[in-house]
Amino acid sequence: MSTRPVSLARVAPAVFLPTLIFETGMGALAPMIALSGRGLGASVGMAGLVLALLGVGQILGDVPAGALAARVGDRKAMLIAAGIAVVTLLGCALADTLWELALAVAATGATNAVFILARQAYLTEVIPEGLRARALSTLGGMSRVGAFIGPFVGALVVHGRPVRDIYWLALVCAVVAALVVLLVPDVADPATAPEHRPAPVTVRSVVARHHRIFLTLGVAVLLVASVRATRQTVLPLWAEHLGQSPSTTSIVFGLAGLVDTLTFYPSGKIMDRAGRLWIAIPSMLVLGLTQAALPLTQGLVSLTVVAMLMGFGNGIGSGILMTLGADVAPPKTRAQFLGVWRLCSDSGTAAGPLVVSAAAGLGSLAAGIETMGAVGIIAAVALLRWVPRYSAFATTGSRSAPRRADVTAGTRAEPEQG
């Protein structure tokens, strides 16, 4: 085994490449699942529900993903997830009824939860703390890049062909990602070798022991995730409200996505050098204020400017939730802890758009958008209140000398529970 220091370049083939490939397949699916449901006779509302099941499956898979990674190891968990994804995507492609498609879509979402959590747990284990935010921001960035380019690749695949061909593209991506994981060795840390891995403990015991973190910083994470997810809902809805065409809306959305994907690495560098709050707080303030400003836009130019600012706010926050989770996760039960942590964030991801949809259903889209803008400000306050208490990496000024010595020695104490 090599004794060279672990760097981002060394982990890229085993971590970032398979994540990019897998997430490209998932990104290609998102715009087509609803259309696939419509092709099987679903109403517009039911087709939207089938699409939502992709996120529901991911939520349902978060906690089992942590337990699986703790029991079999991160690498085997990824291979299992990719193998199951091949089966579920095959089910999507061959589904003859709506309920078959819905079940397969939900199961596919669960495999995505396992894949991402396994790489997050692995990076947390092997990457030096001084590179942690950059590593996890890059991991989050790979998901963003995959979600950005996936629809374009998918558009080429289904051009002039049946919509269900998109599932074959995602299946190929899952197979290629699995082959990369299988053939490219991880940069192993002796502490993660099987003989050093502690006996798995139950997720329930992990929640009981660390409930204070989940009830404080975990709630902040839920708020952050809800605001970040909402931008994907409010932008196209408000563009439609302003009378913009679907093609124009797609271009605006694409420009925002481009800004989003270009900012993940610099934000990770700032988090590593200055502290997590120097990115977490500005990200939430920008997202909250821009969402609050969205109902004030009256035309294409103002809409585009606000959309790009929203992309900037979201982009600089790339990896922040994974990084905070890695900072507070107890080393002996890291995978189980991160499974519950992701449950907090994915629940927020699902809840945010529901608030906007409910408000729109009651006749006030602007009120729903303004509400989520206020949630962004509340999330910034929650982070400011709770991150310094539980993280040795909040800001450079919050790192006490004894605490830093513990981290350097690799024996950082678990977060206090009192």
The alpha helices in 242-319, defined as continuous H runs, are 246-262, 264-274, 277-293, 300-316
**Confidence (pLDDT) at 364:** 79
The alpha helices in 131-245, defined as continuous H runs, are 132-158, 165-183, 203-209, 211-215, 217-241
d(CA 166, CA 34): 12
**Confidence (pLDDT) at 8:** 79
**Confidence (pLDDT) at 172:** 94
How do residues 82-117 score in pLDDT, each as one tens digit? 899 999 999 999 998 989 999 999 999 899 888 888
Q: Is 343 exposed, middle or buried (0-12, 13-18, 19+ CB in 10 A)?
A: buried
d(CA 371, CA 389): 28
* Complete domains list, the chain, with CATH: 1-187 (1.20.1250.20), 202-418 (1.20.1250.20)
How do the residues of the chain divide into helix, strand and coil, expressed in percent and rounded to 5? 85, 0, 15
Instruction: Identify the segments of the chain with pLDDT beneath 70.
Output: 1-5, 44-45, 48, 187-200, 363, 388-392, 395-418
d(CA 252, CA 301): 10
Q: Which two tokens stand for residue 249?
A: 């809306």
- Tokens 């991402």 belong to residue: 116
- pLDDT above 90 covers a percentage of the chain that reads 28
How do residues 393-404 score in pLDDT, each as one tens digit? 776 654 443 444
d(CA 3, CA 10): 12
Which H helix or E strand runs over 13?
Answer: none
**Confidence (pLDDT) at 407:** 39
pTM of the shown model: 0.80
> What does 73-120 look like in DSSP terms, one character per residue?
-HHHHHHHHHHHHHHHHHHHHH--SHHHHHHHHHHHHHHHHHHHHHHH
**Confidence (pLDDT) at 415:** 42
Cα→Cα distances 286→26, 202, 267, 319, 336, Å: 28, 39, 14, 16, 32
Cα→Cα distances 45→130, 153, 246, 356, 362, Å: 47, 26, 19, 16, 16
The alpha helices in 329-364, defined as continuous H runs, are 334-361
What is the radius of gyration, based on Cα positions, of the chain? 21
**Confidence (pLDDT) at 44:** 63
How do residues 201-220 score in pLDDT, each as one tens digit? 788 899 999 999 999 999 99
d(CA 289, CA 270): 22
How do residues 318-370 score in pLDDT, each as one tens digit? 889 999 998 988 888 888 899 999 999 999 888 888 787 777 777 678 888 89
